[in-house]
A and B are shown apart, each in its own frame.
Chain A
Amino acid sequence: MAKGRAIICEDRCKGCGLCVTACPQGLIELSKKLNNSGFHPAVVSDMEKCKGCALCALMCPDVAIEVEKEES
């Protein structure tokens, strides 16, 4: 099974939550803590389950997400 990694740049994130609804696995949530700009940044709760589909990144208005996928 393909394994992915969504890397969210905490400081670019404005905590809008569009990635949260975009993730088909429901793996993204907004952090309780604040980033340097005072937003609750998005975090991946369980990276093990990320498939690297990049839908979160597609919907991110702030280009805060990079996605990697492992190739077998």
Chain B
Amino acid sequence: MSAAKVFTKPASMTDKIMHFCPGCTHGIIQRLVAEVIDELDIRENTIAVGPVGCAVFCYDYWDVDFHQASHGRAPAVATGVKRVHPDKVVFSLQGDGDIAAIGTTEIVHAAARGEKISCLFVNNSIYGMTGGQMAPTTIVGQKTTTTPGGRDSNMAGYPVKLTEMLAVLDGTAYSARVSVHNPANVIKAKKVIKKAFEVQIKGEGFAIVEILSTCPTNWGLSPVESIKWLEENILPYFPIGEFKTPGEVSR
């Protein structure tokens, strides 16, 4: 009998210990992306674009060429990169504030242009890096440092369902929401991320994948409680699923 490795760190991931807080599922997402890069064998062919937010150091963990962007502008930067290197795989990773508040214009128009890039978006329903302020995805009633009494829809409106929004644009080829709160969903999430890359590689157009994630530190919960809170509060508002797949043209 011999022992085979059934799970190891993906090759396109560096050895660096990630800076995310304990139990933050951002780390799972970083790993899934690296696994997809390995499986598609595109490490030497990929250029990643990062956000300003908790994932600002994502380049420390992926062994690929990387281009920084300012807060919210990753889709515009990725557009510039992709236009220069149409034969390369260009993807971006952003947080919810980055993509659905300050960067709404950039993501909407990258999608509308059918930019052949894969955009990943980590929705933790809060501004993580700046210490837990309200995000465009903060759900009604959720307490944050700037909605101390809970988000009041009269005052602060409603969460942005960006992935559904982008699905109605004809330039969007693929739009899906996944979550990484349990093993079954982690496996599903990886499949969807991979599909978003494949959509680009096949030249089918713009792909957006929203990934629901936890923020134990700013939610004020333990990592395990955070998973439960996500299931009970976020999943009902942000349903998991594919909103658009290649070939569908929205009306």
Contacts and interface: CB of A to CB of B under 8 A. Distances in A.
Asked if the two chains touch in their complex, CB atoms less than 8 Å apart, one says yes
B9 A66 contact: yes
B13 interface: yes
| Chain B, interface SS category | mixed
Contacts of A71: 1-4
A27 to B, nearest CB: 15
Contacts of B156: none
A69 B6 contact: yes
Most buried by B among A58, A68, A72: A58
The interface size bin for chain A is: 20 to 34
A47 B18 CA distance: 27
Interface string B171-193: 00000000000110011000000
Contacts of A62: 17-18, 20, 27
Interface residues of B, number: 31
B28 interface: yes
Interface stretch (B74-82, B89-97, B222-230): B222-230
Given A58-B183, A59-B182, A18 B5 contact: no
Interface string B14-50: 0001101111111110010000000000000000000
B182 A66 contact: no
B227 A18 contact: yes
A71 B4 CA distance: 7
Most buried by B among A61, A66, A67: A61
B224 A70 contact: no
B8 interface: yes
B3 A22 contact: no
A56 to B, nearest CB: 9
B28 A61 contact: yes
Given A17-B224, A61-B23, A67-B7, 7 more contacts: A17-B23, A58-B187, A60-B28, A61-B24, A62-B27, A63-B31, A66-B7
5 contacts: A16-B224, A59-B28, A61-B26, A70-B3, A70-B4
